[in-house]
Structure 1
């Protein structure tokens, strides 16, 4: 007769089974289910193109790989989703590089203030040598990045109280920034009073004047309806932000190689489409937001960059990155510290 299982053995076995279930997809034979979370609205180009990728992946694998998109922070805020992704409680997410930098510091390299002159320069930089270094660092954390970063775009400053035309207008200004070290650093060095608030809580924080302003790409300002609680928009282009698509590494390795290639190739192809769609949307939004009551200004960006030079922002951040990574950024953009 087999020996009876002790309570300790039973509990240990249950814990192992629970952990394995968190990492592995809920699936029947040869079926892989991917819960994909992101913080953007249903109509944002990132969500739209992620849904298109999901459809193509399901078709290309005859239903073997089923990606379900959860927008609007349905699976939690960015920090919560990143924690769940690492634990295996969810399989995939899209996350801004500025927030990913809390786990992978090198991911903040493309958030260096005024580093890029155009979206195309940002894409080429992240598709190339700079991105290669960041992707390797992401992989060290047990997460698998898709090769191509998606476009969130240049960030602009909005306010409910005044137009931001010069760095002096930011002095003491209560502005929301994402939970990102480089975002905090940039606005502190410009003399503002930044506060970190997750995007899911931002509308209410603006409405109740916990903060008087925020900074986001125009696409987010429109889709999150911030124009309802913000009157002024300053087109500073102070930071470019991309979205990394990440998969839990243990889960990724449970998928056969041919399916992994389909998933990665499809998401990377949709990255190209998403970039174009986001830029097209961005080009129409100033006029649309003006119709919704926002007033726009186009300040001299050189003044803001000069203020960052004077504060030591660039020297500080150069010292935080590896020499190889900073050299790759300088080569791609012409930026110097």
Structure 2
């Protein structure tokens, strides 16, 4: 059995009936190969009462998927197979918008979604994407594990369709890469055609700094860089690495312009179908993996610059304060405050200090 077939079993890829039968005996070994750890299949496990899907947008190799797979395996073990949640990484169920629609309707039960993209549906979530707001992780977790995160979680629940489960997965601070020039300060962004996620927070930020933001889905990004549809992009180092953007980019500026994280969202009705004891198990094990994954990203961020440098990417450290000062001379922060409202803005500034 080849690796692709093994991965397909564990990520939920559709396979024909004959292949399912042939692979049944080797599911456990396939799971281990796909996730990098030994799967645990309890003796005498009963048929699952709850068969759920868990979708992510990130590449299979990303730490979020590794830790999510571990959580799902533990959930299966602890519940003696009553809860069987299958992982679908790398946009296998569609784009973020597609998967959110499925999660809202119940066609998918769980998903991870970046706080910026969630902001298209739950407005307050987008405030965590305000450019150059967070300057370090102490501020990030003070806000997102604290009052601001609690407010966003309440707003998610008010939609009536989805609920937010546990804390946010870390995806690191976002950095700017380019095939044409190094970005050493705000002036270097002028006219740079930069791919951004299809989210107003990103287009507003880079428009205010004079760049030419071009919204594209992540799965279109490598091709757009390769064919020079865009000059550059911005992503955390982990995604720059797993996406192999170093193959088609030359420069990387450590701008730390936006912190990136992912909520775990669940369809409300699917979540409520779980009895309280199973909700507790699922929530506890997901939160355990969230904490482990945050540690992974912290360690990975320290090693990735060296690794990416060896692959040809040229790094520059920049003064993020210069970018914040440039934004302060525009209407950017005032507009963001008006957009998200006085109450949400006050919660953000409690964690990061005065912005506007």
TM-score normalized with structure 1 length:
0.90
Partner residue in 2 for 1:53:
71
Residue pairs, 1:140-151, within 5 angstroms: 140-141=158-159, 142-151=161-170
Instruction: Select 2:133's aligned residue among 115, 140, 165.
Output: 115
Partner residue in 1 for 2:282:
263
Q: CA RMSD in A?
A: 1.2
- Find out whether 1:79 has 2:97 as its counterpart: yes
CA deviations on 1:134-181 (whole Å, 9 max, x unpaired) are: 001111222111121110110000001111111111111100000111
Q: Secondary structure at the match of 2:174?
A: strand
Deviation of 1:89 after TM superposition, in Å, equals 1.3
- Find out whether 1:44 has 2:62 as its counterpart: yes
Instruction: Select 2:343's aligned residue among 320, 324, 327.
Output: 324
Q: Secondary structure at the match of 1:157?
A: strand
- Cα contact 2:193–2:211 (8 A) shared by 1: yes
- Cα contact 2:48–2:84 (8 A) shared by 1: no
* CA distance in 2 between partners of 1:336 and 1:233 (Å): 26
CA deviations on 1:18-58 (whole Å, 9 max, x unpaired) are: xxxxxxxxxx9761112111111111111111001101111
Instruction: Select 2:194's aligned residue among 175, 183, 207.
Output: 175
- Cα contact 1:41–1:71 (8 A) shared by 2: yes
Cα 1:170–1:46 change in 2 (3 A) is same
Q: Secondary structure at the match of 2:273?
A: coil
- Cα contact 2:250–2:314 (8 A) shared by 1: yes
Structure 1 alignment gaps of length 5 or more: 1-27
- Cα contact 2:143–2:348 (8 A) shared by 1: yes
Deviation of 1:336 after TM superposition, in Å, equals 2.3
* CA distance in 2 between partners of 1:333 and 1:137 (Å): 21
Displaced runs of 4+ in structure 1, greater than 2 A?
none
TM-score normalized with structure 2 length:
0.85
Deviation of 1:128 after TM superposition, in Å, equals 0.7
Instruction: Select 2:178's aligned residue among 159, 167, 170.
Output: 159
- Cα contact 1:97–1:243 (8 A) shared by 2: yes
* CA distance in 2 between partners of 1:50 and 1:242 (Å): 14
Partner residue in 2 for 1:296:
315
Partner residue in 2 for 1:129:
147
CA deviations on 1:162-211 (whole Å, 9 max, x unpaired) are: 11111111111100000111111100101111011010111011111111
- Number of residues of Structure 1 aligned to a counterpart in Structure 2: 310
Structure 2 alignment gaps of length 5 or more: 1-45
* CA distance in 2 between partners of 1:220 and 1:163 (Å): 19
Partner residue in 2 for 1:92:
110
